[in-house]
Amino acid sequence: MGMEIRLVHVDRIIDLRHAVLCRGRHRKHAHFEGDVESTTMHIGAVIGKHAVGCLTILDRPFSKEPAWQLNAMAVDPLYQGGGIGRSLLSFAETRLRQIDTYQYVWCNAPVSSIQFYEKFGWVAVSEEFAVPYTGAHRTMLKKL
């Protein structure tokens, strides 16, 4: 059974978010601000009935300018290193270019992921800062 990258309902990715992004914390922490806003998009990498990767796109300004924010990207540890993150990011960027609303997409990336984003043309635009429960991050930006 092949993998499909597509828009999904947030309920489809909560278990994956909980397992990867909120380990050891209550499941309610896998629900994030903005999840149910009308402009929010949830993208899943799905194999059969299982989400093995996900990310969320929010309508959030960057430096007071309208922009998209990539948030809550996760890949099941059993599937990491197989190109799922790259496929999710590519799908998201393509979708945002098709919508053609804003010029920029940004995210707060864990420092361990900065090289991943840089490979796809993202640029670090902040110093390191701490995010509770998840460690050091930097803000990354990409022009669509």
Which residue spans within the chain are E strands per DSSP? 3-8, 41-47, 50-59, 68-75, 104-110, 123-124, 129-131, 135-143
Per-residue model confidence (pLDDT) at position 1: 66
> Taking a C-beta distance cutoff of 8 angstroms, is the pair 138, 130 a contact?
no
Per-residue model confidence (pLDDT) at position 46: 97
Domains and CATH numbers, the chain: 3-143 (3.40.630.30)
Q: For the chain, which ranges sit under pLDDT 70?
A: 1
Q: Residues 34, 35, 41, 43: is their CA dihedral positive or negative?
A: positive
Phi, psi of 37 (to 5 degrees): -70, 150
Query: What's the predicted TM-score (pTM) here?
Result: 0.94
